């Protein structure tokens, strides 16, 4: 999950590349580096640590050349230090790489055997050695790259530059993302559009097995055999300020508070008010295909898997379609039994998660219909699915996913209502009632956000606990899992999510005054059962932080902290309960001085296995 930026143009590569790397730093940030032309020399500077350390080293250095490449690294091979940082230069070649070269051990052995000096522990450097070899018998960088590719195995993307071709950049994509920005007088190649949108909104996404070769500000595309391809640009509808913090302390905080807008934008195109109903547009699935679905199989990772788990309860109750949910990294290796009438739904904020993409491809190979729930249009998972439903959350920069999570849940709710209407499993009154519930959600989320100061007080009180147990039942059980994940990934404290009904099967042994219990307990059909679980915990000295329906004084009396959400329907409770669990984790992480937007060891998009 590294950040890659390449540039050719009149503005000068140093500024564009550093600005671009800053926008991509959330993708990976354990070391950084650039290779930029200075007169006729390709100058390489690298640094361990964050981009600020590299900027310090670049201070006062002016580069005269027209082009350069840069990289922010998330280490897969070799510890994060200067010699393992990218770019790697061998002869006139410099390269930046994202992904994993699976046959790197045999390549390394061959190079050492023939006497090459290997300077790093990375698989990336080996690519530079092989490319340098190919260049010696090629007319230029493009031909050398075409000859290199068959020698490499794995999911990876590379961007390469040659000291003898200052006006040329060549990139190849296989698995991890690569996008080309076509400016008036410049060209930018990057691993994410965030590094491109302030320069141009005209972009071309490389598909797997494709090569781009830019000469000055023109770009030509080829397949892995060097055969020219005709690719059309798309125009992005994101603005740069959408990707800025806009006065918040962290991207994560901004994105939590953007949820009313994100949910409104996700909802509005697909609901009608007279009568209240749902009609999902541009899904890519016909009514007859929807009627023909015999089973739904969702695949996702992390927070997206939690959103998919919520949808299992909703699809089965609203559409009566049997629904399975798998963690993608398990699904792709368990030889799943799939039939042609199964609809596969891949849920992914980035649309680039390697395991989810691999699970999708496995289903496509077996002829199944696939649907992507993505936040990034034209991402790999989006492009490779038959149909799609875009969450309209806007760019999500914080590594901990928040607005994408609630937008995914809402999107899946809308799909279930759409399917229920078409398949006749819901009557007009039920559709009207559920639709009205969803239309209220953005303003109900605003009410939750207005309680932020109470959530902050509760969060700061949590710092003294040694562990956290999140409990929930039914449609709110996945929200308990999500709460535990949010806490783990940004506070580095241990937390677990459990179905409340499982307490007596083991976890209740954990209950003691130093173990905080965070209980989802909205006034729904499982309320009484949740309250009795809470009383079991209290009887054993467990401190309760409850998330419940406003004015629930019974629950309030049982709780050390009572975090209230507006009175809502069954469909809505998981959406509203997400807000306090997000803010609890956010404020606790801030209180602990954690790096909230770029938590250690993590990256925003897991584009390698």
Helix (H, G, I), strand (E, B) or coil at 47: strand
Closest contact distance (angstroms) between CB of 478 and ligand AGP is 13
Residue 400 interacts with ligand AGP (CB under 6 A): yes or no = yes
Other CB atoms within 10 A of residue 507 CB? 18
Closest contact distance (angstroms) between CB of 603 and ligand AGP is 8
Closest contact distance (angstroms) between CB of 241 and ligand AGP is 23
Helix (H, G, I), strand (E, B) or coil at 71: strand
CB 431 within 8 A of CB 421: yes
Closest contact distance (angstroms) between CB of 483 and ligand AGP is 11
Closer Cβ to ligand AGP, 212 or 374, answer by number = 374
For residue 505, which phi and psi values (nearest 5 degrees)? -90, 10
Closest contact distance (angstroms) between CB of 132 and ligand AGP is 35
Alpha carbons 477 and 455: distance in angstroms, whole number: 20
Closer Cβ to ligand AGP, 212 or 372, answer by number = 372
Alpha carbons 245 and 358: distance in angstroms, whole number: 33
Closest contact distance (angstroms) between CB of 408 and ligand AGP is 8
Helix/strand/coil percentages in the chain, nearest 5: 40, 25, 35
Closer Cβ to ligand AGP, 191 or 356, answer by number = 356
Residue whose pair of structure tokens reads 């007279």 in the numeric block: 274
Residue whose pair of structure tokens reads 């099967």 in the numeric block: 505
Helix (H, G, I), strand (E, B) or coil at 181: strand
Closer Cβ to ligand AGP, 437 or 489, answer by number = 489
Closest contact distance (angstroms) between CB of 449 and ligand AGP is 19
Burial class (CB in 10 A: 0-12, 13-18, 19+), 295: middle
Tell me which residue has its CB nearest to ligand AGP.
302
Contact with ligand AGP (CB under 6 A): which of 47, 259, 303, 391? 303
Residue 266 interacts with ligand AGP (CB under 6 A): yes or no = no
For residue 567, which phi and psi values (nearest 5 degrees)? -60, 130
Closest contact distance (angstroms) between CB of 487 and ligand AGP is 11
Task: Name residues contacting ligand AGP, limited to 588-607 (CB under 6 A).
Answer: 605-606
Residue 191 interacts with ligand AGP (CB under 6 A): yes or no = no
CB 276 within 8 A of CB 325: no
Q: Which of 150, 134, 167, 163 is nearest to 211 (CA)?
A: 150
Closer Cβ to ligand AGP, 144 or 381, answer by number = 381
CB 9 within 8 A of CB 217: yes
Radius of gyration of the chain (CA): 25
Stretch that binds ligand AGP, among 176-184, 225-233, 311-319, 399-407 (CB under 6 A): 399-407
Alpha carbons 525 and 471: distance in angstroms, whole number: 16
Catalytic residue among 2, 363, 476, 521: 2
- Residues touching ligand AGP, count (CB under 6 A): 15
Task: Name residues contacting ligand AGP, limited to 318-377 (CB under 6 A).
Answer: 348-350, 353, 356
Q: Give catalytic status of residue 2 as yes or no.
A: yes
Alpha carbons 30 and 50: distance in angstroms, whole number: 6
Closer Cβ to ligand AGP, 141 or 404, answer by number = 404
Residue 259 interacts with ligand AGP (CB under 6 A): yes or no = no
Q: Which of 164, 147, 90, 92 is nearest to 124 (CA)?
A: 90
Residue 412 interacts with ligand AGP (CB under 6 A): yes or no = no
Residue 397 interacts with ligand AGP (CB under 6 A): yes or no = no
CB 208 within 8 A of CB 174: yes
Catalytic residue among 89, 254, 488, 604: 604
Residue whose pair of structure tokens reads 């023109």 in the numeric block: 218
Contact with ligand AGP (CB under 6 A): which of 76, 124, 266, 304? 304
Q: Is the dihedral of CA 117, 119, 121, 127 positive or negative?
A: negative
Q: Give catalytic status of residue 369 as yes or no.
A: no
Mark residues 477-496: x for contact with ligand AGP by CB under 6 A, - for none.
------------x-------
Residue 200 interacts with ligand AGP (CB under 6 A): yes or no = no
Closer Cβ to ligand AGP, 401 or 533, answer by number = 401
Closer Cβ to ligand AGP, 374 or 565, answer by number = 374
Residues with catalytic function: 2, 604
Q: Which residues bind ligand AGP (CB under 6 A)?
A: 301-304, 348-350, 353, 356, 399-401, 489, 605-606
């Amino acid at each position: 999950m590294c950040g890659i930026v390449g540039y050719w143009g009149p503005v000068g590569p140093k500024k564009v590349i550093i600005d671009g790397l800053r926008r991509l730093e959330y993708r990976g940030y354990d070391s950084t580096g650039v290779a930029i032309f200075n007169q006729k020399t390709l100058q390489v500077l690298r640094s361990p640590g964050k981009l600020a350390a590299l900027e310090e080293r670049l201070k006062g250095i002016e580069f005269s050349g027209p082009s350069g490449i840069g990289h922010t690294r998330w280490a897969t091979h070799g510890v994060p230090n200067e010699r393992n940082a990218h770019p790697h230069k061998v002869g006139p070649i410099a390269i930046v790489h994202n992904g994993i070269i699976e046959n790197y051990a045999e390549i390394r052995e061959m190079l050492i055997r023939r006497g090459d000096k290997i300077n790093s522990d990375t698989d990336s450097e080996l690519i530079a050695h092989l490319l340098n070899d190919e260049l010696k018998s090629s007319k230029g960088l493009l031909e050398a790259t075409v000859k290199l590719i068959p020698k490499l195995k794995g999911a990876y993307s590379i961007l390469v530059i040659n000291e003898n071709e200052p006006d040329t950049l060549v990139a190849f994509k296989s698995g991890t993302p690569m996008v080309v920005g076509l400016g008036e007088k410049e060209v930018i190649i990057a691993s994410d559009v965030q590094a491109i949108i302030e320069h141009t909104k005209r972009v071309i996404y490389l598909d797997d097995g494709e090569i781009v070769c830019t000469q000055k500000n023109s770009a030509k595309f080829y397949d892995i055999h060097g055969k020219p391809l005709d690719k059309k640009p798309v125009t992005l509808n994101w603005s740069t300020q959408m990707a800025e913090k806009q006065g918040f302390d962290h991207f994560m905080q901004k994105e939590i508070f953007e949820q009313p807008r994100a949910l409104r934008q996700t909802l509005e195109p697909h609901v009608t008010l007279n009568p209240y109903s749902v009609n999902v547009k541009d899904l890519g699935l016909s009514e007859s295909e929807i009627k023909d679905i015999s089973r739904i199989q969702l695949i996702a990772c992390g927070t997206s898997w939690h959103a998919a788990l919520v949808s299992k309860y909703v699809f089965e109750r609203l559409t009566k379609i049997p629904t399975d949910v798998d963690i993608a990294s398990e699904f792709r290796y368990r030889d799943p039994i799939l039939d042609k009438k199964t609809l596969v739904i891949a849920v992914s904020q980035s649309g680039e998660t390697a395991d989810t993409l691999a699970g999708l491809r496995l289903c496509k190979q077996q002829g199944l219909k696939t649907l992507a729930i993505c936040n990034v249009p034209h991402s790999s998972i989006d492009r490779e699915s038959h149909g799609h439903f875009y969450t309209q959350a806007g760019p999500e920069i914080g590594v901990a996913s928040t607005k994408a999570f609630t937008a995914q849940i809402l999107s899946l709710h809308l799909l279930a209502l759409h399917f229920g209407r078409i398949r006749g499993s819901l009557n007009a009154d039920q559709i009207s009632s559920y639709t009205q519930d969803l239309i209220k959600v953005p303003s109900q989320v605003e009410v939750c956000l207005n309680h932020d100061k109470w959530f902050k007080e509760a969060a700061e009180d949590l710092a003294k606990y040694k562990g956290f147990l999140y409990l929930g039942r039914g449609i709110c059980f996945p929200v308990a899992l999500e709460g535990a994940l949010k806490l783990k990934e940004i506070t580095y404290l241990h937390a677990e999510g459990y179905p409340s009904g499982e307490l007596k099967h083991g976890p209740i042994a954990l209950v003691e005054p130093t173990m905080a219990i965070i209980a989802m307990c909205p006034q729904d059909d499982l309320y009484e059962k949740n309250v009795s679980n809470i009383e079991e915990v209290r009887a054993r000295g467990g401190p309760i932080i409850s998330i419940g329906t406003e004015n629930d004084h019974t629950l309030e009396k049982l709780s050390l902290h009572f975090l209230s959400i507006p009175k809502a329907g069954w469909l809505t409770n998981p959406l509203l309960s997400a807000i306090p669990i997000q803010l609890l984790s956010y404020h606790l992480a801030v209180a602990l001085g954690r790096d909230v937007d770029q938590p250690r060891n993590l990256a925003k998009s897991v584009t390698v296995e």
